[in-house]
Every structure is written in C-alpha cells, then in structure tokens.
Chain A
Amino acid sequence: MANVPVHEWTLLEAARKVREKEISSRELTGAILTRIEALDPKVHAYITVLPEAAAAQAAACDEEQAKGALRGPFHGVPIGLKDIFCTRGVRTTCGSRILRDFIPPYDASVTEKVLGAGAVLLGKHNMDEFAMGSSTETSFFGATRNPWDVSRIPGGSSGGTAAAVAAAMCFAGVGTDTGGSIRQPASLCGVVGVKPTYGRVSRYGMVAFASSLDQGGPIARTVADTAALLGVIAGHDRRDSTSLDLPVPDYLAAVDRPVKGLRVGLPKEYYEGDGLSPEVRAAVQKALKALTDQGAVVVEVSLPHTSFALSAYYLIAPAEASSNLARYDGVRYGHRAEGASGLIEMMSRTRAEGFGDEVKRRVMIGTYALSAGYYDAFYGKAQKVRTLIRDDFTKAFEAADVLLTPTAPTPAFRLGEKTGDPLTMYLSDIYTIPCNLAGIPGISVPCGFSAEGLPIGAQLLSKPFREETLFTAAGAIERALPLRRVAPLEG
C-alpha cells in the first residue's frame, strides 16, 4: 500500500493527507489535472476542464491552511460535477447545444455545498443531453467512453462522472439520477453511485429533466467516499420546496456497521426474464453471499407492478421534461437561431437546432401525453401506476431491510450498439427506474467483472431516508469483494 499513486487515493484518504500536510492541494490538484490532460482525450469524461481556476483554488486552499484555516472536510481535494449543476461563472451546458454558451450567474445548492466543504472544482463532467440517455452518447459534445474498454459506453446519463471517477480523473463527483442515471453508469464503470431519497439533496440549480424524479447524488470509488460526500450535499434547502427538513445522519459511521441479522430481500421480478445476463446474475449472487456470510438473512419479496414501471416512467419523465425544457426558446439565453423572420419561426428553429434527437423524441412524447383528451389515459394513468409501485415497495420493506438486485441487466455495451433502437436502450434502466418512481434511495456497488473484464454492479434499495442501511450493506459487500476500482488505462 505504500506506493499507491496519488490519483488512486480515495476521496477520504486524499482529504486526510491534505489535512495532515502530507501533500499540498496544489500538488494533489496538479496530479489530477495532469492525468486529465493525458487520459481525457481518450475518455472524454469532461465537457469543461478548469486547469487555471482549479490551480488557483488549490493555491488558495494551501494559503488558508498555512494560516490554520480549513474550509471543510474536503479541503483542497479536487472533484468534478456533472454539467447539470449550475456553476457561477462557469458554463453549464447540460450536454446540449442549446446551452452551449450558458454561464449561470448562480451556483446550484450542490455546487455551493461541495465548494463550501473545501473541494477544488476540476471541471464539468460530460452527460447525456439534458440527462436523457443511458450511454452518454446523446451529449452534444460527443460521447464519453468507458475507461475499462474505450470501445464501450460508460452508461448514462452521469457517464462522464462515473468514467472520470473510474479513470481517477477526480476523487469523486456528483451526478444526477432520474431513472438510474447515477447507479447504472456507476455499475458499468465499476464505482459506487448513490441515488438518495427524493428530497434528500436540494435540486436548486440542478437543470431540471423530470422534476418529480430527479435527484442528485455522489459517485466515488468507495462506499465510505460516497457516504462522506452525501453527508456534505444532503440537507434541507429553503430554495427547494420538495427538499425535506430532516437532520442529516452520520452516513460515514454507517459504513462499518455489522450486517448480522439484516434482512435482505430479493424481489423475484428482478431476477425473472431473459434480459438479465448470466454474468450479472452470478456477480450479484456473490454480493448476496458476501452479505449472508456476514450474518444477513435472505427473504423473498415481490414487487408485482415492476413490469409497468418502464411504461409509467416513459410517460411521466417526458411529460415533465416537455414542460421543463420549454424555457429553452432562444428568447433570453442560450442558442438562438439566426435569420428567423418572426417569433414562432425563431422559437421553432432555435429548438430544432438546439436539441438533439433523443430530447426531441421525449419532448414530443411528453407533449402528447399531457395534451387535452390524452392526459387521463397517459399521464394520469402513469401516476396511478406510480402509486402502485410505491405501495409495492412499502409492502416489501415490511419484510426486508434492503432489497438486493442487479443494477443493470448487462455489462457495458459498445458505442453505437443501441443508439438506433431507443426502446432497447430504455431497457438498460429497467432495474433502476422503480426506485425513482417510488422516491426511495438506492446504491450501486461493484460486485464483480465479466469474462471480458467489464465491471458489474449490485443495486441495494431501502426505505425512504434509510441511506444508512444502504451504506452498511454496501460496505459489507465492498469489504468481502475487494475489487479494483481504478480502470487500467494508460495515457
């Protein structure tokens, strides 16, 4: 362990070493910036890298520390943010042409909290356009690649964040998860990703995709790192009416708790069907064994409305998106089409030019689902399904403390493999979507590799606001299955 390279340190290690002056923030940040320079041309995890700003911020951290002041628990440690979080003075594109040059005059709540904890901002991570996608191929700025195999996708929509963490081009990042956008890329990139309970992390300043489903959460290489980062970004925010006013527990303390007696539910619907790859099934079995070996007990549970989740999701999310994305009309900021002769033409052309195919597809689906005469049949019915799915979970959690499922049905697929077939692409979120519909928390923790050396993740789900249980269970899996977390990628 003596010679672990700087970039392979965990977030908590890096923070401790800066705090104990084993390394300066400048050196630490410099090492990661050098790595980004060398590797990112291959991975393309970043839309925007901020070498000067990060170096200046690191220098400021060092100066303050020399005077005895620490900004917070992540003082001087470089991290990245998905380009969906507004950053004051730094362009925030959301992966879209329409916001290519948008420089917000305000910080997202998550941005404020991460910076307030002393972290150094390296840049903004690549993502599917407006977080719509499961492969980070819909980004206007080009696809991100999986650092374990650059011919493959990193998952999405927080694929840039997961890839940057897996390639050690940051110590951690914050992504967002509307239907699995943190957990699925974390799984495909072999890192840990947490989708907190809806309302746990403020959505203020996080560009909205589907407001009732979106939730920000940490991505890092260890369970403890995600626990520490969630502790920083969680909490009530007066600027977000849907954020809950509950105390933030000590998540880090939960990681090392024993799992003896923990009831692990296996929702049978998640293991049925031919979509689940045998390799993923086997790896999740190992995760289960890790838990039972440490004294956890297995219970069978059923989530009978699972098969309707995907359909409900693909009505609710596009419906909300069609409304949320209507503000990008070229009137006040962002891209505006040139040469239009009137208002309607200007707006139409701006949107035609500014949005990519997947975004347009969902805006059209959503507009249709909300239109007069169709509302009850589509949006209204989807909301009813949502209630049934929530009730399924409530019932399952009477028997189980956590549910264990695969995160994604397969390891990372190849670039372009599914882009021509949106419906197949949508299936890669089949295990993660019900969690968003129910508003419960979920985590993806690495549990093995495929024969081709591609990471596989296991998903754990718990009751609302029981993230601690997730960290405990994920911690037990992590301890039992010590897997490589930094992709073997050469510059």
Chain B
Amino acid sequence: MAFETVIGLEVHAQLSTRSKIFCACSTAFGAAPNENTCPVCTGMPGVLPVLNRKAVECTIRTALATSCTVQRRSVFARKNYFYPDLPKAYQISQYELPIALGGHIDIEVDGGTKRIGITRIHMEEDAGKLVHEGEFAGAQASLADLNRCSVPLMEIVSEPDMRTPEEGGAYLRRLHDVLVYLGVCDGNMEEGSFRCDANVSVRPVGQEAFGTRAELKNMNSFRNVEKALEYEIRRQVELIEDGGKVVQETRLWDANAGVTVSMRRKEEAHDYRYFPDPDLLPLIVDDSWVEELRKTIPELPAEKIARLGRQYGIPRYDAGILASTPALADFFEASAAIYGGNPKTTANECVHWKDAVLAGTLSPETIAHAVEDRERGTISATASKKLVELVLSTGKPFRMLRDEQGLTQVSDTSALDILVDKILAASPKEVEGYRGGKVGLLSFFVGQVMKESRGKANPKVVQEVLKKKLG
C-alpha cells in the first residue's frame, strides 16, 4: 500500500523585543538565573500584566508578511495548569480569538512553487525552566529559573499542507528567513528563539480523511526536524503495515538516538480551562495602525531573489546567496549602483568577502572600485584581491592604496611597445624559434615583459602587442 504523509507545523518564535511581553524586565539571553525577573513575571500576589506594544507590532508585521488577516479584536486567555516553572499557574496566550488568521507562505520544491497555508498567528508568554540537580528522576533538588517567564512568543500554526520532510524543511527555512528579514525574531534555534513542533500523520494514498496524528517536540535544528519527520513517517507506516494502529500522542525527538519516543498520550492531556484573562482588555488593532506597520515591511526573501535575478541578470543561485542576508543583498546593490559593469562579478566579490561585508568592515565603494578597475584592465585579479585585503588591514581607500602600491596596470600600447621591443631585441633566439612555429614561446615573452614592467603591464594587452610585432 502506498502512503501519503500529512504534516502541519507549529513554530514558536521569540519576538525581538528588549522587554518582556507583560513587564519591563529584560529579555537578554544568558543572564544569571532569575536576574531578569520582577514581581510581575514571577506572578507575585496582586500584580498585573501590561501588554508590550512592540511585541504586538512585531506580530502584526509578521502577519502582514505572511498575508494573514490582522484581526481588529483579539483576546488574551489564560491557559491554566500547574508546573513549577509557570509562576502564575497559567500561561497568558491567545486562544479563541488570535491576532491573525488565514495567510500563507510559498516554498520551492522540485523546481516549482508550493503554497503552504498559515492557519493562525497568536501571541503568548514563555514559561521559565527547571534545573534538576543530579539525575532527573532521583534529583535531590529542582531549581527554578524564571528568566524566560513572560518572554514574548509568537506561535505560527500552519495548515496540514506539507507532504514530505523536505517540504517541512523548506517551509521552516522560508518562515525563518521571513522572520529574520522582518527583524521580529533573531532566529537562533540553539537559544530557543525559533522552535518547532510538528503534527504528523500518514494515510493511504487516495484516502481523504487524515490518519491519527502524533505531535513531535524537541527538535532544535532544521536538519533535526527533517530527520524526526523521516523517522516518524517510517514508524507510522511500518506500524500500520504490521497491522498496528497509530495512537494520538505527543512524542519527543531524541537526536542522539535518532528516534522519537512517546511522552504523553491523549488521555493524559490537560484540561487547560481556558478563559479570557480579566486582567487584560481585548486587544483592539485599528486599521491605521496596521497600515502604518505595513509601510515597515521590507522586501521579503522570495521577492528579493526574484528581483535580483531580474534586475541584475544574475543567476538564481547567486541571488539566493545574496538574499540569504538582507545586509549582504543591500551591500551588493549599493556596490552595483556605484559601478554597473557586470553584476555577476560584483555578486561574486560580495559573496567572496561576505564575512567582512557582514562585519561592516568593507564599504560598497571598495568592491565597486575593485570590480571596475579589474574590468577596465587597470589592475589584475591578483592585485584586486591584494588591495581589498589591504583596505581591510589599513582602512585606507582602495584607489589610494592602488596608486601607493603602484599596482596599476599599464595598458597603454605606446608604453608597452617600447617594453616589447626591448624584450624582443634581447631575445633573438626565441624570436626566431617562435617565428619557426614554437607558438608556446608567446607566454615566455609575456612573462619577460611582465617582469620588466614589475607586474604592472596588462598581460592581455601585452599579448596583443606581441602577436602584432611577431607577426
């Protein structure tokens, strides 16, 4: 029997705000335990949450970038459950009325484009974490670090539109790039800023109804997500083929063992007793606010790749590399604006010097001048590279260094005529040999002229002059 896989993804992205979603505490990563806490995020008696406007703006911008409809009225609800890392014993989240509904993201698969639906985007606060002394089960003590409590998160829930682990991976990467482009999330998966849960089920090809799904958690890299999906699909198919039944449950991905393991069954699921949080008024987003934020949406990765290809005539692959980081693409465009020439050369240079570009130690002028001088034959490729390195080490302008170092090529034929004549006069045997048919000697003459010019002669022009004179 042939099976089809159905995958839906839920992404938790930490919003790039300086303060938490309901209090003024810092969201900085790596602080000492409980350093970034206050009576509000630790749920002390009587304190109240106050919504962070910046977090709302980040979420609205994400909604706009993924073609979602921003809801005029959304409501924060309490999700009630006991756990020592959840100081209020409820998480403030959006439930029935989230801030955004119904969008999509286009991914590229098998040379084509596929549209993945986005069901909803909602806002919520993160919980803290527990540190267990010694082994988990026999721990002598469990310590609570509440730094992450009330760190703002946005949950982006996809439609079950993906059919392969590759599609899942492509969707995640594209979503990741969009969030980073928007500046609403730093996208750091190791630090947990970008986390993914997957709902996976399989069904016989042709069957309309979804199979029973498992929820996968604990995947902390794109590769892990794909591997976990692959494993889980195989597990479910084999289970069914062996006459078994998939049960609805939550499974953890064990990256070391490369397997998913059961964490909790449906019947153990919590009753969260959701209800609207009476401490927060419904969030009202008026149209003018949305329109204001719409103006801040930058060109997004897919559009940028397409435009770079169209506008500069560079290959899609190069455009993709440039667009992987908005700053790199901007740098490329700034360079190309200073010197048009062949944009492919400029693109290559930008990619070659990517680290320096992103570190901000190179200016677009440097690359533009390097490309221009090479294309005009004023310097050699070797000299170009050497000069850019010098720019980086000295901070002096490219052309000042070029002149100081005397690396300008001599392309002036009249000047080269004299040099060539000199070399030919000094090498009568070789001239005779060349004229006798040893055309390979041409490179010997070029080498001699280059040496005589101390590397400044333009080898291409030298060759032409030589050919003419040797007839």
Question: Smallest distance from the beta carbon of B285 to chain A beta carbons, Å?
Answer: 15
CB neighbours (8 Å) of B280 from chain A are 241-242
Q: Which of A92, A319, A326 is close to B89, meaning CB atoms less than 8 Å apart?
A: A326
Given A326-B80, A329-B82, A331-B144, A208-B275 contact (CB < 8 Å): no
Known contacts A94-B45, A242-B281; is-contact A371 B273 (Cβ 8 Å): yes
How many Å from the CB of A350 to the closest CB on chain B? 11
The reply to whether A104 and B50 form a contact with Cβ atoms under 8 Å apart is no
Which among A208, A238, A343 is the interface contact of B46 at CB below 8 angstroms? A208
Q: Which residue of the partner chain, among B42, B44, B45, B80, contacts A323 with CB atoms under 8 Å?
A: B80
Rounded to whole angstroms, the CA-CA distance of A92 and B47 in the bound complex is: 13
Residue pair A239, B78 in contact (C-beta under 8 Å)? no
Q: A241-B49, A241-B51 are in contact. Are A332 and B271 (CB under 8 A)?
A: no
- Asked whether, in the complex, the Cβ of A323 is within 8 Å of the Cβ of B273, the reply is yes
Binds B, one of A198-206, A403-411, A448-456: A198-206
Is the CB–CB distance between A319 and B50 below 8 Å? Answer: no
Assuming the contacts A241-B48, A241-B280, asked whether A326 and B88 have C-beta atoms less than 8 A apart, the reply is: yes
Could you mark each residue 29-59 of chain B with 1 if its beta carbon is under 8 Å from any beta carbon of chain A, else 0? 0000000000100111111111100000000
- Assess whether B50 is in contact with A327, with CB atoms less than 8 Å apart: no
Q: Does A240 contact B (CB under 8 A)?
A: yes
Does B183 touch A at the CB level, under 8 Å?
no
Query: What is the CA–CA distance of A327 and B80 in the complex, to the nearest angstrom?
Result: 10
A104 touches B45 (CB 8 A): yes
Say yes or no: A240 contacts B144, CB within 8 Å: no
The residue on A at minimum CB distance from B84 is A331
Which residues of A are found within 8 Å of B82, using beta-carbon distances?
A: 326, 329, 347
The yes or no answer to B279 lying at the interface (CB within 8 A) is yes
Residues of A within 8 Å of B, CB-based: how many?
43
Q: Is A207 in contact with B46, judged by CB distance below 8 angstroms?
A: yes
* A372: interface (CB < 8 Å): yes
Task: Report the bound CA distance from A329 to B46 in whole Å.
Answer: 15
User: A325-365, CB under 8 A of B: which get 1 and which 0?
Assistant: 01101011100000000010001000000000000000000
Residues of the A chain whose Cβ atoms lie less than 8 Å from the Cβ of B275? 319-320, 323, 370, 375, 379
B298 at the interface (CB under 8 A from A): no
Q: Are B50 and A241 in contact (CB under 8 A)?
A: yes
The residue that A212 contacts in the complex, of B42, B48, B78, B278, with Cβ under 8 A, is B278
Kindly list chain B residues whose C-beta atoms are within 8 Å of the C-beta of A326.
80, 82, 88-90
Are A102 and B45 in contact, CB atoms less than 8 angstroms apart? yes
Asked if A308 is an interface residue, CB under 8 A from chain B, the answer is no
A332 contacts B87, CB within 8 Å?
A: yes
**CB pair B281 A241 closer than 8 Å:** yes
Interface size bracket, B side: 20 to 34
Contacts known (A242-B279, A323-B273, A375-B275); A370 close to B47, Cβ less than 8 A: no
- Separation of A343 and B281 alpha carbons in the complex (Å): 34
A211 within 8 A of B: yes
CA distance A238 to B279 in the complex (A): 13
Are B84 and A211 closer than 8 Å at their CB atoms? no
The answer to the question of A367 belonging to the interface, with a C-beta cut-off of 8 Å to chain B, is: yes
Q: Contacts A331-B144, A347-B82, A375-B275; is A205 near B46 (CB within 8 Å)?
A: yes
Query: In the complex, which residue of chain A has the Cβ closest to the Cβ of B79?
Result: A323
Residues of A within 8 Å of B47, CB to CB, are 106, 204-205, 239
A99 touches B (CB below 8 Å): yes
- The answer to whether B90 touches A333, judged by C-beta atoms less than 8 angstroms apart, is no
Interface residues of B in 239-257 (CB under 8 A from A): none
A372 and B273 contact, Cβ closer than 8 Å, known pairs A241-B50, A326-B80: yes
Q: Indicate if the CB atoms of A241 and B279 lie closer than 8 Å.
A: yes
In the complex the two chains form, is B48's CB within 8 Å of A203's CB?
A: yes
Alpha-carbon separation in the docked complex, A208 to B90 (Å): 14
> Does A238 lie within 8 Å of B88, measured CB to CB?
no
Interface string of A273-315 (1 = CB under 8 A from B): 0000000000000000000000000000000000000000000
Return the 6 tightest CB-CB contacts between A and B, nearest first: A326-B89, A212-B278, A211-B278, A370-B273, A205-B46, A207-B45
What are 9 A-B pairs with beta-carbon distances under 8 A?
A85-B46, A86-B45, A203-B48, A206-B46, A207-B45, A210-B278, A327-B87, A331-B144, A379-B275
